[in-house]
Amino acid sequence: MNSSSVCHEIPDCPRLFVDAFRGAYLQKTRNPDNVFILSHWHGDHYGSLPRDGKYQGPSLIHCTPTTAALLREIHQVPEKYVVEHGYGETWLFHPLGNTKGLSTVQITFYDANHCPGAAIIVVEMADGKVHLHTGDMRYHTMMNVYPILERAASSRAIDTVLLDTTYSDPKHNFQPQEAAIDAIAAYSEGLLGTSRKCCSNVLILLSCYSIGKEKVLWEVSSRTNQLVYVNDRKMRMMRCIQKHHESSSQIVQRCTTDPNATDIHVIPMGLAGELWPYFQPNYWACAEYAKALETEYTKVVAFIPTGWADGSKWNKKNATSKFDCKGIEVEIRLISYSEHSSFSELKTFVEFLRPRKVVPTVFKDDRDRVKIEGRFAIDSGRAKQSFFSTMTSKSSNIGKQVLPGAATRLDPFPKRPKLNMSRSSPLKQKEGHVEKLASMRLMGFSADAANGALVESKGNIEEAVGLLITGKTKLPPTAEVIDLSGTNDVVESKSVPATPCEK
Residue 276 has pLDDT above 60, yes or no: yes
8 A C-beta contact, residue 320 and residue 334:
yes
CA 38 to chain centre: 13
The Cα–Cα gap between 407 and 402 comes to 8
Q: Which residue has the higher pLDDT, 472 or 328?
A: 328
8 A C-beta contact, residue 39 and residue 118:
yes
List, for residues 440-497, the tens digit of each pLDDT value.
765 667 777 888 888 888 888 777 877 777 666 665 443 334 443 333 333 333 333 3
pLDDT band at 79 (very low <50, low <70, confident <90, very high): very high
Nearest C-alpha neighbor of 300 from the set 280, 281, 277, 279: 281
What pLDDT shows up at residue 230?
98
pLDDT band at 258 (very low <50, low <70, confident <90, very high): very high
Residue 114 has pLDDT above 60, yes or no: yes
Question: Is-cis flag, bond preceding 277, omega within 30?
Answer: yes
Burial of residue 128 (CB within 10 Å: 0-12, 13-18, 19+) is: exposed
What pLDDT shows up at residue 389?
57
Question: Is-cis flag, bond preceding 58, omega within 30?
Answer: yes
The Cα–Cα gap between 175 and 180 comes to 7
Query: Picking from 8-12, 136-140, 445-449, which range would have the lowest pLDDT averaged per residue?
Result: 445-449
What pLDDT shows up at residue 429?
54
What pLDDT shows up at residue 465?
79
Instruction: Kindly state the average pLDDT of the residues 413-422.
Output: 41
Q: How many percent of the chain have pLDDT more than 90? A: 68
Domain chopping of the chain, boundaries: 5-171+340-378, 177-336, 420-503
The Cα–Cα gap between 272 and 306 comes to 13
Q: Which residue has the higher pLDDT, 244 or 453?
A: 244
What pLDDT shows up at residue 436?
78
pLDDT band at 416 (very low <50, low <70, confident <90, very high): very low
Mean pLDDT for all residues in the chain: 85
Residue 101 has a CB neighbour count (10 Å cut-off) of 9
Predicted structure pTM score: 0.77
Residue 185 has pLDDT above 90, yes or no: yes
8 A C-beta contact, residue 178 and residue 172:
no
8 A C-beta contact, residue 443 and residue 391:
yes
What pLDDT shows up at residue 97?
58
Could you check whether 5-171+340-378 and 177-336 share the same CATH topology? Answer: no
List, for residues 83-104, the tens digit of each pLDDT value.
999 999 999 998 875 555 557 8
Residue 59 has pLDDT above 60, yes or no: yes
What pLDDT shows up at residue 346?
97
What pLDDT shows up at residue 393?
53
The Cα–Cα gap between 209 and 337 comes to 13
Instruction: Kindly state the average pLDDT of the residues 110-138.
Output: 97
What pLDDT shows up at residue 431?
56
Instruction: Kindly state the average pLDDT of the residues 319-325.
Output: 96
Report the topology of domain 5-171+340-378: Metallo-beta-lactamase; Chain A (3.60.15)
114-174-180 Cα angle (round to 5): 70
- Percent helix, strand and coil across the chain, each rounded to 5? 35, 15, 50
Q: Which residue has the higher pLDDT, 201 or 463?
A: 201
The Cα–Cα gap between 484 and 429 comes to 11
The Cα–Cα gap between 468 and 462 comes to 10
- Listing from the earlier edge strand, what are the strands of the sheet with 130-133? 90-93, 105-111, 119-124, 130-133, 158-163, 357-360
Is CATH 3.90.1560.10 what the domain over 177-336 is classified as, yes or no? no
pLDDT band at 383 (very low <50, low <70, confident <90, very high): low
Instruction: Kindly state the average pLDDT of the residues 153-170.
Output: 96
